[in-house]
């Protein structure tokens, strides 16, 4: 009679992470952060990027959902308890301003507030703080990179001590430049390479927004593949390009006469995901291909859904329904 020694094996199920959908909270205006969390949870969102500008500021699409200057451990504990109750998280604290402003007093104010945002993130256990590099419009771009090193080295080192990552959104901010040119130095792969060469910190990466790449003529899918190790968060925003205006009227430099403001380039506008030129099926497929499993944050700048809070909610709900089918 043949005896068999049968071994038993314990198999652990591999945890499969699924990308979480969220949105940047400033678009909902003066509604309290607790009300925003409550509403987001009911819709199905799982995370948020929370706006943390100063209580008094003039930035468009800003907000002050957390008063980081006066934020305490007790407030952080209360907020975290509410998030847990609603099965929600905060992915990022947001403060996108010009950290290289030519006016040194203003620059110092922006830099100091960014430090406060980092401290608030540490209190909450939030992994990311989102911002811009910015630009000194009076200096050549090479000199701006020198300024970037001076400003961001101590910020990144402090953030690392606090276990916080700094993520840079790749918006060119033409609205900051009087001629409508780029108001930041971090909007293209060429500039990302210089940025990461000069600041090779492992807590320094991209908040990758494909919408800006579309109107700039940059391949937003190749960018995902080429910078997969530097993409710490994704902004979900679409861009509708008016190709007839681009080819037959304005050129890549945009409208030059009778602009309403520096953002009025005449041949493109931001839309909710699914209403512009981005192929979201391909975009999400490449995200999965490169192993991205972190947050996808809707940055709502679609003027068709902004007149009232109800219209804002309608836009965010449309974005959620569209993207949730792509995860």
For the chain, state the CA radius of gyration: 21
- The number of residues in the chain equals 327
Q: How far apart are CA 118 and CA 98, in angstroms?
A: 16
Containing H/E element for 50?
A: strand 47-51
Q: What is the pLDDT of residues 72-82, one digit of tens each?
A: 999 999 999 99
Q: What is the pLDDT of residues 243-293, one digit of tens each?
A: 999 999 999 888 989 988 878 889 999 999 999 999 999 999 999 999 999
CATH number for the domain including 225?
3.20.20.150
pLDDT value for 180: 67
For 224, the domain range is 20-324
- Assigned domain for 9 exists: no
- Assigned domain for 118 exists: yes
- Assigned domain for 276 exists: yes
Q: How far apart are CA 105 and CA 183, in angstroms?
A: 18
- Assigned domain for 7 exists: no
Q: How far apart are CA 195 and CA 143, in angstroms?
A: 13
pLDDT value for 12: 42
Number of domains into which the chain is organized: 1
pLDDT value for 263: 82
- Assigned domain for 6 exists: no
Are the C-beta atoms of residues 210 and 280 closer than 8 Å to each other?
Answer: no
- Assigned domain for 120 exists: yes
In which residue ranges of the chain is pLDDT below 50? 1-14
pLDDT value for 68: 98
pLDDT value for 176: 80
- Assigned domain for 181 exists: yes
> What's the pTM value of the predicted model, to 2 decimals?
0.93
Cα dihedral: 258, 96, 187, 277 (round 10): -70
- Assigned domain for 8 exists: no
């Amino acid at each position: 009679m043949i005896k068999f020694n049968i071994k038993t094996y314990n198999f652990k199920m591999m945890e499969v992470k699924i990308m979480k959908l969220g949105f940047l909270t400033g678009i909902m205006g003066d509604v309290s952060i607790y009300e925003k969390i409550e509403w987001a949870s009911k819709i199905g969102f799982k995370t948020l990027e929370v706006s943390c500008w100063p209580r008094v500021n003039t930035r468009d699409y800003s907000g002050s959902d957390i008063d980081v200057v006066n934020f305490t451990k007790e407030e952080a504990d209360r907020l975290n308890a509410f998030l847990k109750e609603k099965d929600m998280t905060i992915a990022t604290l947001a403060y996108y301003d010009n950290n290289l402003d030519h006016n040194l007093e203003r620059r110092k104010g922006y830099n100091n507030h960014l430090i406060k945002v980092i401290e608030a993130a540490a209190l909450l256990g939030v992994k990311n703080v989102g911002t811009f590099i910015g630009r000194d419009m009076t200096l050549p771009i090479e000199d701006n990179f020198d300024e970037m090193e001076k400003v961001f080295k101590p910020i990144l080192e402090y953030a690392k001590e606090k276990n916080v990552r700094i993520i840079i959104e790749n918006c060119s901010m033409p609205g900051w430049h009087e001629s409508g040119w780029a108001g930041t130095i971090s909007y293209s792969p060429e500039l990302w390479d210089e940025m990461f060469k000069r600041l090779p910190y492992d807590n320094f990466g991209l908040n990758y927004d494909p919408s800006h790449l579309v109107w700039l003529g940059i391949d937003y899918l190749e960018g995902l593949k080429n910078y997969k190790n530097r993409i710490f968060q994704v902004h979900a925003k679409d861009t509708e390009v008016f190709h007839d205006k681009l080819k037959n009227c304005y050129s890549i430099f945009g409208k030059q006469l009778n602009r309403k403001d520096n953002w009025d380039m005449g041949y493109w506008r931001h839309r909710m995901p699914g209403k512009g030129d981005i192929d979201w099926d391909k975009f999400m497929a490449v995200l999965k291909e490169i192993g991205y499993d972190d947050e996808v944050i809707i940055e709502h700048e679609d003027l068709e859904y902004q007149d009232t809070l109800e219209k804002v909610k309608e836009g965010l709900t449309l974005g959620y329904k569209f993207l949730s089918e792509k995860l």
